[in-house]
A and B are shown apart, each in its own frame.
Chain A
């Protein structure tokens, strides 16, 4: 007579067959990280809340908090970027940049009921610290594509946008703070119907309204950048610095909005036709390390290893959107 003891929803056991496959994926990624000079770090899953929220109150968004024996509030990390920002300022206070770190670690997020979402997910990623854009961004993207190639994933594409592009466009049209927040909220929610209404509500001329509505919906090849002038210079710089094999994977997406708040420039997401959700993503965050006391530009990304594994299996089965 056996008894089933459940694990919390959104968590799961990994048994040897799956573990072997996940391990092979992770070792392929690690091989590229090592060859590219990224040193692997491990940080505690538990951090002091006051340390993580220093990075970004919204980005830290810890779903799990507990008290230690002295009454300090501890949180389970929701990503690895902020812990690594802490490591750079505390453990590498005098080290000469650039610094290159990689990790394979679990991160913890809250889940919505009955959605089958993960509370605990395995992330593999890098952070390149002290190399400004566009070179640093191009390096991060190049390592990303090499890492995905090493796993054997074939049909992936990288969506590339710029977190500063649309806010700058709103500034150029003198959109006031209240309306601006509402517009960015619609964009974040991926609601173009709501976006159109919010923009119409501004009472700008029809040309300006059209621009504000069209720009975030532009996706595709380098031609997309031609229509937005100087505000896309950052993306042009990154694109020019990419090797041909990486540039060939890029889909420009001027409306790409990542949910984390600390991005300051280029942002990107990885898509594969075998899976309906992004495999991971990242971007440039030039202000984050300064909040921890070492003002260095940085960029990084994380892949969700379990989703990457699903996409690999899906590609081999011939599954396509």
Chain B
């Protein structure tokens, strides 16, 4: 078998896309059209659909794609999605962290003096779970972008966000206080496709494993 074995794969646009396409090239999938085309979303010949990483689990769960590649951070935030997690693809490494402004830990101070701390994040479920698990009362403020702004403007005392190199945090004067979860890209599958297309799927997973080992 070759290429994607006739399976449909949801490919994440953004930070994970380059490594995803490199992996697919190694499997003999023709990704030239995907690379050449920024606006097109559906590549039927290659068996690829492209979308935001946070939508991948949604498409795969519904069976609109047989397989998908997305970050563990997305899967942890959407932990209720009924999808199979098949393979750690190892690229796209980053960490979900708690960060505050440098100097005294404002979160700890708020918790001690006010009994609750305000945390801004794009990942409300991961943040809520983390503070519940560690027995701290937190008010989660959901924002959609540039989370680093929240502690600088007084919207919140700290943030829960994803960081790969820490550059953005540093440039905004923030320091990491805790690591919640280490994330890498994962291969996920629809539960029904996992049964009905078992041979095609297992062969593809085996070839991906091999490519990761060699690469």
**Chain A interface (Cβ < 8 Å from any Cβ of B):** 112, 115, 157, 159, 189-194, 217, 219-220, 251, 253, 269, 271-273, 275-278, 321
What is the size category of the interface that chain B forms with chain A?
Answer: 20 to 34
In the complex, how many angstroms separate the beta carbon of B92 from the nearest chain A beta carbon? Answer: 14
Question: Nearest CB to that of B194 among chain A residues?
Answer: A219
- Contact between B192 and A219 (Cβ–Cβ < 8 Å)? no
* 11 pairs, A vs B, C-beta closer than 8 Å: A115-B80, A192-B84, A192-B86, A193-B86, A219-B202, A220-B198, A251-B196, A253-B195, A269-B195, A276-B190, A321-B63
Which of A194, A269, A276 gathers the greatest number of chain B CB atoms within 10 Å? A276
Q: Which of B83, B194, B195 has the most CB of A within 10 A?
A: B195
List chain B residues, Cβ under 8 A from A277: 62-63, 82, 191-192
Bound-state Cα–Cα, A194 to B80, Å: 16
Taking A277-B82, A321-B190 as given, write out 20 further A-B residue pairs in contact, using a Cβ cutoff of 8 Å, ordered by the A residue number.
Answer: A112-B80, A190-B82, A190-B83, A190-B84, A190-B85, A191-B85, A192-B84, A192-B85, A192-B87, A219-B194, A219-B195, A219-B198, A220-B198, A251-B198, A273-B196, A275-B192, A276-B61, A277-B192, A278-B192, A321-B66
DSSP majority for the A interface?
mixed
Q: Which residues of A contact B80 (CB under 8 A)?
A: 112, 115
- Top 7 A-B residue pairs of the complex, sorted by shortest distance between their CB atoms: A276-B63, A219-B198, A191-B85, A190-B84, A271-B192, A193-B88, A276-B62
**Distance in Å: Cβ of B67 to nearest Cβ of chain A:** 11
Please determine whether B62 and A159 come into contact, CB atoms closer than 8 angstroms: no
Evaluate contact between B64 and A276: CB separation under 8 angstroms: yes
**A residues in contact with B85, CB < 8 Å:** 189-194
Question: Which residues from 49 to 107 on chain B have a C-beta closer than 8 Å to any C-beta of chain A?
Answer: 61-64, 66, 80, 82-88
Residues of B within 8 A of A272 (CB): 192
